[in-house]
Amino acid sequence: MLDNKSIASFAEMRRIVAEFPGPDRDAATTTRAREGQLTKPAGALGRLEELALWLSTWQGKAPPAINHPRVAVFAGNHGVAALGVSAFPAEVTRQMVLNFTHGGAAVNQLCKNADADLRVYEMSLDQPTRDFTQEPALGEVDAARAMAYGMMAVEPGIDLLCLGEMGIANTTAAAALAAALFGGTGTDWAGPGTGVQGAQLSRKAEVIDLGLARHRASFDDPFAIMACLGGHELAAITGAVIAARVARVPVLLDGFASTVAAAVLLKLDPHALDHCVVSHCSAEPGHRKLLEKIAKKPLLDFGMRLGEGSGAALCIPILRAAALCHSGMATFAEAGVSDKG
């Protein structure tokens, strides 16, 4: 297990990423061999077969299983919310956290459907990040601490981690992160988020461009980009992805914000997200662009843009089906069914 108290620095985070474990090739070999013996034509279950292999490879066991999935939702507030980039005020973040706690949000229902554990992590809601058009949203120490806090979501016993977020104005921060990491302007990456359009959407793109201009000198360091333009909840997601890799827990990412928080790691290691699958393509236009940049194919495209881990929770039954089909199907020999000649 990682000692989260001792790793709250970017240098230590970089060291952990540099020492990431790779895929478990023995588990993958065993899974491929069994897959070829199951009572179906080769490839007949399509992407379910790919997902079973992916689960086995990153859980490090064959056959794979999903018995204890966790949905982790990180909530944080953003200083740029005061600049008119969202259709809702910043206090909605806390109100939605209470809604999660009382079981009234969409993600609560989706977790019930998936028989998944839901954990909600409040992150300094009374202390929003600073306005990134004027100064870094977070200092290095605060950003690293948020990453270390996110690592706490990876507790012993869970076998799938789903990552979501809640935070008014966090699509502005996410779009700024995407532009800093992969190039482009506020107009290229800004989307409606909570429902802004027209002049308010233009204002959102302008705020992103102001942030990019302010912090361009830091763009050679992905963790510095997170500190300058991100947020507590986004940094926590980055940390959770790191801890999941070390603990061999496969990850389901939710929408635009959680995906870009994870994508920070690609600038350190092109294989840093091999243990992650993107659950769905958000209706937020920047998400589709981002998925092309990081070469990830989402499981679903349902036009969702809610956040709060909803798309990831919705996909847990799909991954469970992949694992059960692989582990529960009979082989040709077991079933007494003739294989192809």
Tell me the pLDDT tens digit for each residue of 71-118: 999 999 999 999 999 999 999 999 999 999 999 999 999 999 999 999
Mean pLDDT within 17-29 = 98
The model's pTM is: 0.96
Give yes or no for residue 54 having a pLDDT over 90.
Answer: yes
Are residues 69 and 321 in contact, defined by beta-carbon separation less than 8 angstroms?
no
Select from 134, 141, 154 the least CA-distant residue to 9: 141
Mean pLDDT within 257-275 = 98
Select from 55, 53, 54 the least CA-distant residue to 34: 53
Q: Please, what is the average pLDDT of the chain?
A: 96
Mean pLDDT within 25-39 = 97
> Active-site residues: which are they?
308
Give yes or no for residue 341 having a pLDDT over 90.
Answer: no
Taken in order 268, 241, 312, 236, the sign of the CA dihedral is negative
Q: Which amino acid is at 266?
A: L
Is residue 2 very low, low, confident or very high in pLDDT (cuts 50, 70, 90)?
very low
Is residue 7 very low, low, confident or very high in pLDDT (cuts 50, 70, 90)?
low
What pLDDT sits at residue 8? 81
What pLDDT sits at residue 339? 83
What pLDDT sits at residue 107? 98
Give yes or no for residue 133 having a pLDDT over 70.
Answer: yes
Between helix 256-263 and helix 232-247 the angle, nearest 10°, is 60
Give yes or no for residue 219 having a pLDDT over 50.
Answer: yes
73 conformational bin, left if phi > 0, alpha if psi -120 to 50, beta if neither: beta
Q: What confidence tens digit (pLDDT) does each residue in 286-320 have?
A: 999 999 999 999 999 999 999 999 999 999 999 99
Are residues 290 and 177 in contact, defined by beta-carbon separation less than 8 angstroms?
no
What pLDDT sits at residue 6? 56
What percentage of the chain carries pLDDT values higher than 90? 97
What pLDDT sits at residue 1? 39
Inter-CA distances, 217 with 32, 99, 149, 186, 214, Å: 47, 40, 27, 17, 8
Q: How far apart are CA 310 and CA 258, in angstroms?
A: 11
Within 13 Å and on the Cβ side, how many CA atoms surround 257? 34
